[in-house]
Amino acid sequence: MTRTPRRHLVATLAVVGALTAGCGATVADTGRPSADVSVTDCGEQLSYPTPKQPVAYDVSAIEKMFSLGLADRMRGYVVNALFDGSIDSSPWAADYRKVPRLGTGRISKEIVVDAKADWVMSYWGGGFSEERGITPALLKQIGINSYVQTESCFGYGDRKPVAPMDSVFLDLENLGRIFGVEQKATEVVSGLKARLDKLKAGIPRGTTPARVLVYDSGQDAPYTAGKYASPTGVIEAAGGRNVLDGVENGWTTVGWETVAAANPEVVVVIDYGNESAGDKEAFVKAHPALKGVPAVTQDHFVVLNYGEAVSGPRNVDAAEKLGAYLRSIGK
């Protein structure tokens, strides 16, 4: 995902079999029994062997690995303590308890080195960061390979964005290749896509998509989801439209006037950290700039937890939840 407080607080892969050209990965002819794989990550061609000591940062990367049954092969993970509620509610809570937790803040080069990691999966921005001295290039200099999550490619490498929900599927497929669990990845992706197909089939025909705002945090200015952030894919799959889908960014900050002008009909509140979802909802309802928008006057609020909102398998859970709510209000 591409956030920074939580994401404001806001890889590459190994393949054992033959890959299709559309996936951007080919097996390198190394002549060794365990061949390296050549992959394209955010437009950059990389080659490396299957990781033996992989580390993942944030719920997004961690749960993509857990969903493929890779917990037993992980050296560990790092996730900020702000998001512990999403760990507790995760379908993979048992894996979180089993795999070593290497840190409760943001990932750093020191954490990775101390863990003797040979591969790191994170997003660009709040995870990999020039400012904090942990980038794929810097890690490569000390013998550690990396995978930048596809959702954040709009701000890294060739800066070519991938639709948020598609980025989840691509990451899962790539992880399947790098860790030699292609069949499992295919099954997981197929299952997620089938659920989305069923959801989309239930969207009423002839209705205008509901205008949906994502409210993560922030009082002076809202921290929210732009065009490339994962909730945009969730909203679209549910049959709505992100009112900020014209903002060429991922997780970002805008002005309250911009939000008011978008006239949202539904507000999605992201639940995590020390401020409750109820307090966030109350703040939005009380904001003078929003007192006349339909979401406030009609009390149309939906809560998603952090794990459902960031790029990952739970995006489909989130889409189903939001879709059910939109159907309940005639959308």
At 46 the pLDDT is 78
Using an 8 Å Cβ cutoff, are 233 and 312 in contact?
Answer: no
Residue of 114, 11, 116 whose CA lies nearest to 57: 11
Sign of CA dihedral 6, 304, 96, 198: negative
Whose structure tokens read 């939906």? 302
Domains of the chain by range and CATH? 21-181 (3.40.50.1980), 203-328 (3.40.50.1980)
Residue of 114, 118, 115, 71 whose CA lies nearest to 96: 71
Note the pLDDT tens digit of each residue in 15-43. 333 333 333 443 333 333 357 877 778 98
At 3 the pLDDT is 55
Q: What tokens appear for 68 in the block?
A: 């493929």
Give pTM, 2 decimals.
Answer: 0.89
Q: What tokens appear for 60 in the block?
A: 């997004």
- Between CA 237 and CA 187 the distance in angstroms is 20
- Per residue of the chain (331 residues), give pLDDT as tens: 445 444 444 333 333 333 333 334 433 333 333 578 777 789 888 789 999 999 999 999 999 999 999 999 999 999 999 999 999 999 999 999 999 999 999 999 999 999 999 999 999 998 999 999 999 999 999 999 999 999 999 999 989 999 999 999 999 999 998 999 999 999 999 999 999 999 999 999 999 999 999 999 999 999 999 999 999 999 999 999 999 999 999 999 999 999 999 999 999 999 999 999 999 999 999 999 999 999 999 999 999 999 999 999 999 999 999 999 999 999 9
User: Which residues in the chain belong to E strands, given as ranges?
Assistant: 25-27, 37-41, 44-48, 54-57, 76-78, 101-103, 119-122, 145-148, 210-215, 223-225, 240-242, 251-253, 266-271, 301-305
Q: What tokens appear for 155 in the block?
A: 């701000």
